[in-house]
Amino acid sequence: MAETWNQRWLREVREVHAAVDALLTRDPSGPALRTAIEEASKVRHFNHLSYKWAPWLWRKLAADRSQRVALRPFLLGHLDGSALDPKGRFVQPWSEGKALDKWLAEVDAANDVELFRQVIQWKLRDSWKDFARRWRELLLQRVKAAATTTERQDALARFDFPAELDEPTALILFETYGSTARRFILDRLPWRGAFWEKLHGLAIRKRDEDTAWQLYRRQVDPPRWAKDVRSLITTISDGETLVAELEKRHPQVVSDAGPVFLELAQKKGVAALPYLQRHVRAVFPRWGWFGRTEGKSLVDLVKLADERAWTSLWAKLLQSSATPELWNSEVKRLLQLGASTMTVQHKLQLLTGAGGEWNFSGFGLAQVQPLSDEVACLMYERAPALLRGPFRMHLTHAQGTPKLIARVLTADDELLVDYFASRALIDFRVIGETVDKLTAHYEAMSLTDGSFVRRATHALSMMPAFTIWNYEHLLTTNKLARLLFERSTPLYLSDAKLVRELLESPQIHVQALGFRVLGTRDPRAVAMAAQQTDVLAPTLLRPLHRRTRLMAFAAIDNACQAEPAASALLDKMKQALALPDRRYPKEELVGLIGRVLSRWPKLRGKNEQPQLFRRELA
């Protein structure tokens, strides 16, 4: 009978305790130490017994410095604050005896700062409620006991890990260290709390403005900031000085700067414009019971910027701070004024583009205002070039603009129809009648003159990267995707340039379509694949899913029907054999290399020639 999870847990706990006890009993030294400790670490939950083996290992390394380089990273990497007793319970080892306290004192005396930081955190976290208070007490004890500059710097280094300061402790640190403690203090400010008035005043008196104003920007609350800005409005007349003082005080986080910005713009005018433009994203719409609404200050600020011809500020407010309703109303107002004039054209173009970006590791987000169906139709009538150009990115999805889609389909507007088709292939909201109309439009295109292939390739090439999350589901639910991706594969062989567009698309599923086209058993595919050597070669070394890579192998196999292409691709194939990717289909790659060498004997290296053997007669 299979063991239960509880039985398995207890068995693993017994095994790890037995392994650690055996290690400590054997007490290996010299070269055998590394082998023994690494073997013991393979047992599950080994790190949870750090309180037993870590002091022993540290003392061994202190006595035998020849092993220090090899095993010190092991010690630091496997040290774990949680502790398991032989019964499988998590316990607090610091409260069960003086052994760990003695070890901590030894580490401290040896001046092992990096290990001291880890162990003291382990000790302090035995009680999370008192962690910050105990950390501050130990820090102050060490700072007050320090007699030299080196000892004072060493005290900060030993306690340089995440924790929260309070103002009395920060004052002592600033009085002791001055500006050198700025980073240490600012990195440990509490998330919430009162403004540290005493520390701010002390920094001002010591002429340390960097510390004073960084502290101000991190802690100031909206009422105090608004009061200080009003004071600057009344006391400073010079524009450059005003902007500099405003920048000093601009909060790092502000809920809505709209009312303050409006008052500043009304009273100081152009003098405050550089500051307002730099921090325009500090103005937000309001959130209410029925969603986002325009705050009165935002509407008034947009109106004021337009009246005073502060066009750049006006556009930035609408791009980044306004709701889609306000942005669309301004676009509609400009179109009704007459889109043919240069001034209106210029203002419309300023309203295009992303209002803000958030970039993370591996992906990013952009804020783009969406055009409503009504405004998009009005723009298509009065300024179609703008809609096809800079405003096209504001047609965020096809489902929200059915009237515009009907008009562009009637007019067979190639650019916009293909754009909507590309978005209909990636947006799960585009279903039903919209997809039916687009599919029927493409099915009606001529196959003889190449119109269908050209338009389908254009639509596919406009698909952004990383926008198809489930290809099989897309084919199941979207008939336009089935038409362009699956039903029309042989048709793309009519034009080599269009196949290259598929291969150069940012969307991997469109690239896979290009591989499938070039991998078909068709004489045209063989000839086309040989012309795409420069695009196919990188696929051997770039990261791809197995299924996509096998499609690329089929296209490369066709390309290698020509000797020049085979010569250019063979070296990349051999390089791919050395890739560490375990999921790489090496067997299929070896088969591909074998077929190429069999087809073109001239390309064989010295060790790739066939060996013939015969039996010697006695």
DSSP string, 439-469: HHHHHTS-SSSSHHHHHHHHHHHTPPTT--S
Using CB atoms within 10 A of its CB, is residue 70 exposed (0-12), middle (13-18) or buried (19+)?
A: middle
- List of E strands, 462-512: none
d(CA 473, CA 114): 52
**C-beta separation of 380 from 404 below 8 A:** yes
Q: Which residue has the tokens 């996509």?
A: 548
Helices (H), 146-221: 149-158, 167-177, 182-186, 197-205, 209-219
- Residues 6 or more apart whose Cβ sits within 8 Å of residue 517: 489, 490, 492, 493, 499, 502, 525, 528, 555
The torsion defined by the Cα of 318, 323, 327 and 329, in degrees rounded to 10, comes to: -140
173 vs 392: CA distance, rounded Å: 56
Asked whether the beta carbons of 371 and 364 are under 8 A apart, the reply is no
Closest CA to 386 of 334, 460, 451, 463: 334
Q: Please state the separation of Cα 55 from the chain's center in Å.
A: 40
| Residue 360, H or E segment | strand 356-360
Residue partners of 168: CB distance under 8 A and separation at least 6: none
Tokens in use for 220? 């100031």
What is the DSSP secondary structure assignment for residue 611, as one 8-state letter?
P
Nearest CA to 301 out of 331, 259, 330, 333 is that of 259
Question: Which residue in this structure is represented by tokens 């990636």?
Answer: 426
- The pair of structure tokens assigned to 224 is 């105090």
pLDDT of residue 371: 94
The single residue listed with the structure tokens 């260290």 is 177
Cβ(239)–Cβ(273) under 8 Å? no
In whole angstroms, give the CA distance from residue 231 to residue 83.
57
Decide: helix, strand or coil at residue 358. strand
pLDDT recorded at residue 231: 95
- pLDDT of the residue at 293: 66
* Separation between Cα atoms, residue 350 and residue 549, nearest integer Å: 44
For residue 287, the model assigns a pLDDT of 61
- 147 by DSSP, 3-state: which? coil
* Side chain identity at residue 11, one-letter code: R
Which two structure tokens, joined as six digits, stand for 323?
Answer: 């709701």
* Sign, Cα dihedral of 192, 197, 203, 209: positive
Tokens, residue 332? 């509609």
Listing DSSP states for 290-322 in one string gives: TEEE--HHHHHHHHHHHHTT-HHHHHHHHHHTS
Measure Cα distances from 185 to 141, 160, 199, 207 in Å.
17, 10, 10, 17
Dihedral pair phi/psi, residue 429, rounded to 5°: -80, -20
Neighbouring-strand partners of residue 356: 367
Please choose, from the candidates 230, 227, 357, the residue with its C-alpha nearest in 3D space to the C-alpha of residue 281: 357
Confidence at residue 244, expressed as pLDDT on a 0 to 100 scale: 95
User: What residue ranges of the chain have pLDDT lower than 70?
Assistant: 1, 95-97, 128, 286-294, 397-399, 427-431, 617-618
